[in-house]
Amino acid sequence: MGTVILLPLNKPFIIDFLEDLGSDVTDSLRRAGLNHVVMIWSEIVKIPMTCFDWSRMQYLAPCVIDWIRRFIRDRLVSTETYIVGLSYTDGYDKGLNFVFGEASVSENIAVVFTRRLDPAFYGSRRDYNLYYNRVVKEVVHELGHLLGLEHCSSKGCVMNFSNSVLEVDSKTRFFCNNCVRRVSGKTRV
């Protein structure tokens, strides 16, 4: 059994539903046969501006992951701890226009950038339910990577690659049967 820590970054906007998010992530993991404890970090942590690219107005995902590693690793004892940073900001990686999230399997750290998951980003009216469901899916997706899963082609699987919010909307927050077999068969989880 491992521990998942949801780490709020920058904006308190996410704080409003962190406990619900923790419950839904726990449910998705349990349905895959994983009994991880999901915890919420007790404070909002500010991403340093050294990770912000002013020319793009986005945060560089690998920089944020590296900063989280430095920030949190000396505070944790267990190597079976998975950290997912959550930020209502926009992120990218080199060669990509944007990323919803990114994971570093070797560090057990992921980050989810939620700004593009908000319908308001695209000029639509705010829809908290839609936004929340998208965030849950992306958190579970990045956790799947941390647990050793790659992208999956099974329709509806949370491990489908999403290049747009429409693709996020078309998947569930659950692992398909093949991904469940892969993740539950690993000794590290």
Q: Which residues are annotated as a binding site for Zn(2+)?
A: 141, 145, 151-152, 157, 176, 179
Q: Where are the beta strands (DSSP E) in the chain?
A: 3-9, 37-40, 52-53, 58-60, 81-87, 91-92, 101-104, 109-113
Catalytic residues: 142
List 9's β-bridge partners, or say none.
Answer: 45, 87
Q: Shortest CA distance to 22 belongs to which of 4, 46, 44, 45?
A: 4
Q: Which residue in this structure is represented by tokens 């942590």?
A: 45
User: Quick one: how far is CA 103 from the chain centroid?
Assistant: 8
- Residue 71 three-state SS: helix
| CA 160/CA 152 separation, integer angstroms | 5
Looking at residue 181, its amino acid is R
Residue numbers in the known binding site are 141, 145, 151-152, 157, 176, 179
